[in-house]
C-alpha cells in the first residue's frame, strides 16, 4: 500500500511541475534523474488515473470576462476575433501563456501557408515549440515576412524562426537572404531583383495566415529608425509598429522616403485572409490600438491588460 501511495505522490508532483509550474519535461527528467520519454509516460499515466484532467476548449472562447473584452474589440476595430489571455504572475508567465495560446490559435485556423514575423513574443512562441518538441500544424508552406535583424537576438533572425517552425511541422520553408533594412534605394532594388526575394514574394502573394508582432515606439531593438525616419516618427507621434511599419494611434502608417525596409508590402499584407497580431506583456495599449486601427490586423492575441488598455485610450 505504501508503495502505491508513493507512486501516486510522485505522479501528482510531476503533474504539478508540468501543468502548474510550467516546467519542461527535460527539467523534470533532470530533477528526478529519469529520461524525458519516461516523464511523458508518467504524465500519460497521471491522466489515465484521473490525477490530471484536461478540458479541450477553443482558446478563442476565453472566460466570460475575456470573451466580453474580445467581443468589444471585435466590434470596435472590425477584427474577426482573437483571445484576451489572462495575465500571469509575471511578464514571463504572461508571455508563456500568450505563446501557448498562439500555438493553439494558429492550428485552429487550419490553413495551408504561414508567414512569420519576428520579435520577442514570436520568438517565445518558436522557443516553446522547440523546447516542448511540439508539432505545429500550419499547412504546407512557411516563410518569413521580413528580412533578418542585424542584432545578436535569435528572436529577430527571421530565417531561424522559420527553420524551427518548419522542423516542427510538415511545412516546407522558404528563407529570405536579406537584412531587414537596406541603406539605399539602389540596394533595396537589387535585393528585389534576386531570385530568392522573388520566390518569397510569390509566397507572400499566396499567404493564408500572417503572424505579426505588435510592438511599441520607441522600439527595442531600434533597427536604425533614426537613419530611416529622422525625427519623422516623433513629429508624427508614432505609438507602435507592425513588423517594421510604424503607426500612430489613429492607425496611420508613417512613411519615409529614406525607409528601405525589406518586408511584406502592405498591399500584400492587406490581402492575407488571416493576419494575426500578437502582443507581449509589455506592449502598450496605444500601440495595440494604433495597430488595430490600421485595418491590417483581423485577429488579435494579447494579454488581457493590454487589450483592456487599448479600449481605454
The CATH number of the domain holding residue 11 is: 1.10.10.60
- How confident is the model over 234-260, as pLDDT tens digits? 999 999 999 999 999 999 999 999 999
Same domain (yes/no): 34, 71: no
Same domain (yes/no): 215, 83: yes
Give the mean pLDDT of 57-83.
80
Same domain (yes/no): 98, 45: no
Same domain (yes/no): 29, 135: no
Residue 21 — very low, low, confident or very high, per pLDDT cuts 50/70/90?
Answer: confident
CA distance between the termini of the chain:
61
> What is the total residue count of the chain?
313
Tell me, what CATH number does 275's domain have?
3.40.50.1360
Query: Strand 238-242 vs strand 209-216: parallel, antiparallel, or unpaired?
Result: antiparallel
Q: What is the pLDDT of residue 266?
A: 97
Same domain (yes/no): 44, 177: no
- Domain assignment present for 57: no
Output b/e per residue, 1-16; b: 16+ Cβ within 10 A.
eeeeeeeeeebeebbe
Q: What is the pLDDT of residue 152?
A: 65
- Domain assignment present for 277: yes
- Domain assignment present for 30: yes
- Phi and psi torsions of 297, nearest 5°: -90, 125
Residue 146 — very low, low, confident or very high, per pLDDT cuts 50/70/90?
Answer: very high
Place of cell 512562441: 125
Please state which of the ranges 14-18, 157-161, 193-197, 201-205 shows the lowest mean pLDDT. 14-18
Same domain (yes/no): 169, 20: no
Q: What is the pLDDT of residue 1?
A: 55
Q: What is the pLDDT of residue 206?
A: 95
Share of the chain above pLDDT 90, in %: 70
- Domain assignment present for 56: no
pLDDT at 294 over 50: yes
Same domain (yes/no): 40, 79: no
Q: How many helices (H) and strands (E) does the chain have?
A: 14, 9
- Domain assignment present for 262: yes
- Domain assignment present for 143: yes
Please state which of the ranges 4-13, 65-74, 265-274, 282-291 shows the lowest mean pLDDT. 4-13
Give the mean pLDDT of 45-73.
72
Helix axes 2-19, 36-48, angle to 10 degrees: 110
Same domain (yes/no): 163, 17: no
Same domain (yes/no): 2, 90: no
Same domain (yes/no): 293, 265: yes
Distance CA 51, CA 42 (A): 11
Q: What is the pLDDT of residue 23?
A: 77
- Phi and psi torsions of 117, nearest 5°: -80, -155
Give the domain range for residue 33.
1-49
Q: What is the pLDDT of residue 18?
A: 79
- Domain assignment present for 58: no
Same domain (yes/no): 84, 33: no
Residue 140 — very low, low, confident or very high, per pLDDT cuts 50/70/90?
Answer: very high
pLDDT at 56 over 50: no
Please state which of the ranges 53-62, 228-237, 287-296 shows the lowest mean pLDDT. 53-62
pTM above 0.75, yes or no: yes
Average pLDDT score over the chain: 90
- Domain assignment present for 171: yes
Q: What is the pLDDT of residue 8?
A: 86
Q: What is the pLDDT of residue 38?
A: 86
Same domain (yes/no): 83, 39: no
In the chain, how many domains are there? 2
Q: What three-state secondary structure class fits 216?
A: strand
Amino acid at each position: 500500500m505504501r508503495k502505491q501511495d508513493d507512486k501516486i505522490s510522485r505522479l501528482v508532483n510531476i503533474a504539478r511541475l508540468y501543468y502548474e509550474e510550467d516546467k519542461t519535461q527535460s527539467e523534470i527528467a533532470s530533477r528526478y534523474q529519469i529520461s524525458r520519454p519516461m516523464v511523458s509516460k508518467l504524465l500519460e499515466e497521471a491522466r489515465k488515473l484521473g490525477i490530471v484532467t484536461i478540458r479541450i476548449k477553443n482558446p478563442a472562447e476565453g472566460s466570460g470576462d475575456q470573451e466580453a473584452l474580445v467581443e468589444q474589440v471585435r466590434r470596435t476595430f472590425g477584427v474577426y476575433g482573437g483571445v484576451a489571455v489572462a495575465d500571469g504572475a509575471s511578464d514571463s508567465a504572461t508571455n508563456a501563456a500568450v505563446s501557448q495560446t498562439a500555438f493553439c490559435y494558429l492550428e485552429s485556423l487550419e490553413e495551408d501557408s504561414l508567414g512569420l514575423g519576428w520579435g520577442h513574443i514570436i520568438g517565445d512562441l518558436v522557443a516553446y515549440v522547440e523546447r516542448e518538441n511540439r508539432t505545429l500544424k500550419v499547412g504546407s508552406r512557411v516563410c518569413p515576412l521580413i528580412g533578418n535583424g542585424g542584432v545578436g537576438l535569435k528572436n529577430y533572425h527571421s530565417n531561424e524562426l522559420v527553420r524551427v517552425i518548419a522542423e516542427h511541422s510538415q511545412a516546407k520553408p522558404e528563407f529570405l537572404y536579406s537584412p531587414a533594412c537596406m541603406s539605399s534605394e539602389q540596394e533595396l532594388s537589387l535585393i528585389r531583383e534576386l531570385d530568392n526575394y522573388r520566390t518569397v514574394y510569390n509566397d507572400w502573394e499566396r499567404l493564408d495566415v500572417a503572424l505579426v508582432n505588435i510592438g511599441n515606439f520607441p522600439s527595442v531593438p531600434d533597427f536604425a529608425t533614426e537613419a530611416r525616419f529622422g525625427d519623422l516618427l516623433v513629429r508624427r507621434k508614432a505609438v507602435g509598429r507592425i513588423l517594421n511599419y510604424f503607426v500612430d494611434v489613429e492607425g496611420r502608417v508613417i512613411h519615409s522616403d529614406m525607409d528601405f525596409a525589406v518586408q511584406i508590402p502592405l498591399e500584400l499584407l492587406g490581402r492575407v485572409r488571416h493576419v494575426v497580431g500578437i502582443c507581449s506583456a509589455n506592449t502598450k495599449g496605444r500601440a495595440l490600438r494604433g495597430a488595430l486601427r490600421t485595418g491590417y490586423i483581423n485577429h488579435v492575441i494579447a494579454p488581457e491588460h493590454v487589450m483592456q488598455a487599448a479600449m481605454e485610450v
